[in-house]
Amino acid sequence: MNMLRVSVWRGGADGEYRNYEVPRQESQSVLDVVTYIQRNIDPTLSYRFACRVGMCGACAMTVNGVARWTCRTHVAKVAKDNAIQIAPLANLPVVKDLVTDMREFFDKWARARGRFAPGATRKDAFARVASDSPERVAANAGIECIGCGVCYASCDVVSWNPDYLGPAALNRAWTLVNDVRDTAQRERLAAVAGDAGCHACHTHLSCSERCPKNIVPTASIAGLKRAVALAAWRGEL
Amino acid sequence: MSMKNDYRARNHPAWWAFLVHRLSGLALSLFLPFHFWALGQALQGEARLDTLLRWTQQPLVKFAEAGLVLLLAAHLAGGLRLLALEFLPWRGWQKSLLAWAAGAALAAGLAFALVL
Amino acid sequence: MSGAGLGYAPGPAAAPGANARFETWLWIAQRASAAVLALCVLVHLVTIIYAVHHGLSGAAILARTRGNVGALAFYTLYVLAIAVHAPIGLRALCQEWLGWRNSSLNWVIGALALALFVFGLRAGAAVFVG
């Protein structure tokens, strides 16, 4: 039986890697490995998952140094010398083992005004938005985000600047900047400008490289930079 | 409190482009005061400038100068790439901008080296 | 749910407003000076290669540059663009890699910009005025 050597982070921020041996299977995912350890070797291992079919993003972890969805990561693709290393997502406080505290991630979403601000009531007619209008195309490119945190964990600017809102929050803000029905545009642009906002992005493209839904937050953030500059030029910021 | 982003996650072309751009900018910023001082020597007459220029004829200095030209070309090419990424609508070919930028920088550096 | 043991305390929300406007204008200045520098650097690279080819003695260079009003104007613009561009770039580096974030950074960067401008003009005067 071919055994996979697995190194897993145990503990909180102060912790250590512990080694386990897991039987290799065909088409085995990293989530399968973590589940095997928790069910057969060490029931005290804490981790998150939900759908296990690549839809919810709950199983995101750091595998061999890179943030990934573990249910969509084949062991065969990432194992080096029959070994893998599993750690919690970076840039987020570690609760226990492979579980991180995602509150700051979502707080920043709110701080970036990543929330739709409606202006119409039920008495108004439906808004008519052409699906091929430039704004709608731009918004659609970013709305599939499910808040898994992989981009946030991959971003070095988040590591270097604790206040930085991050790729996911800014991407969401961009989709709303392009929502013609939204009524909080001015506040939103003010929220995403600044060195905690879009101007801190240095186009590393790590977020876009790692997004499991192939969203390009870098492009969204570039859009925000342009929108904010235009607003400042017009004295509207 | 939280784990830092790992060096293994940085091993992709756009990240190297960022590092080259930032480090070349830093190196050029450090070189600039010396460059301004050297040119300012001409205020004391052409003989003074001449002395300085003869110093630069040494092979090691010439080699360093070629390096500086390469850094300048790299920073320029990388900067143009960034302007394209930030101002032009997003397209797939923008990823290959990096290859163009690197090629152009290398060409400029080589042109200088050939002239030496 | 108490936060005890998690070590997480929500940080104060970054205050937008003045910071947003300041950073936006810095970004605009950085990109505008970059566009100007793109042209200036291209000209400078061509000039360097020409100069190396045609003689690098003090006399040869100064014969070409002294009294050249067009060149003086060009290099003054070049120096101005550099005095804007380099300090803003260094500021980002200091914030992110040195963790230097308080207002003293802005003063130092401002002083650097002034110094670059003054010494750049001095160098320009040395080479082009005469």
* pLDDT value at residue A67: 97
Task: Read off the pTM.
Answer: 0.91
Q: Say which residues have a Cβ less than 8 Å from residue A167's Cβ, sequence separation at least 6.
A: A151, A152, A155, A201, A207, A217, A218, A220, A221
Nearest neighbour of C7 by CB, restricted to A93, A103, A233: A93
Least confident stretch, B7-16, B45-54, B106-115, C64-73: B106-115
Q: What is the least distance, in Å, from the CA of A65 to any CA of chain B?
A: 5
User: Model confidence over A11-63: pLDDT tens digits?
Assistant: 998 999 999 999 999 999 999 999 999 999 999 999 999 999 999 999 999 99
Residue C80 lies in a domain: yes
Residue C50 lies in a domain: yes
Asked if the Cβ–Cβ distance from C126 to B1 is below 8 Å, we say no
Residue C7 lies in a domain: no
Q: At C115, which CATH number?
A: 1.20.1300
List A residues 136-195 in contact with C (Cβ-Cβ < 8 A).
157, 160-163, 190-191, 193-195
Nearest neighbour of A94 by CB, restricted to B2, B86, B87: B2
Residue C114 lies in a domain: yes
Q: Do the bridges between strand A99-100 and strand A94-96 make them parallel or antiparallel, or are there none, so unpaired?
A: antiparallel
- Give the domains, in start order, of chain B with CATH numbers: 3-115 (1.20.1300.10)
Please say if the pLDDT value at position A167 is more than 60.
yes
Average pLDDT, chain C: 84
Report the residue of chain A nearest B20, measured CA to CA. Answer: A204
* pLDDT value at residue A23: 97
* pLDDT value at residue C32: 97
Asked if the Cβ–Cβ distance from C10 to A103 is below 8 Å, we say yes
Average pLDDT, chain A: 96
Kindly state the helix (H) or strand (E) to which residue C31 belongs, with its residue range: helix C18-54
* pLDDT value at residue B116: 57
**What is the C-alpha to C-alpha distance for residues A206 and A46, in angstroms, rounded to an integer?**
27
Q: In the structure, what pLDDT confidence band is assigned to residue C68 with cuts at 50, 70 and 90? A: confident
Range(s) of the domain holding residue C77? 18-129
Least confident stretch, B94-98, C36-40, C89-93, C97-101: B94-98
Residue C12 lies in a domain: no
Residue C4 lies in a domain: no
Asked if the Cβ–Cβ distance from A232 to C96 is below 8 Å, we say no
Please say if the pLDDT value at position C14 is more than 60.
no
Q: What is the least distance, in Å, from the CA of B106 to any CA of chain C?
A: 13
Domains in chain C, number: 1
Q: What is the least distance, in Å, from the CA of C96 to any CA of chain B?
A: 12
Residue C31 lies in a domain: yes
Mutate which of A205, A210, A214 to disrupt the B interface (most B C-beta within 10 Å)? Answer: A205
**What is the C-alpha to C-alpha distance for residues C29 and C27, in angstroms, rounded to an integer?**
5
Asked if the Cβ–Cβ distance from B2 to A203 is below 8 Å, we say no
Q: What is the least distance, in Å, from the CA of B107 to any CA of chain A?
A: 24
Residue C10 lies in a domain: no
Q: What is the ipTM of this complex?
A: 0.90
* pLDDT value at residue B114: 66
- In a 3-state reduction of DSSP, which class is residue B2? strand
* pLDDT value at residue C2: 42
Q: In the structure, what pLDDT confidence band is assigned to residue B44 with cuts at 50, 70 and 90? A: confident
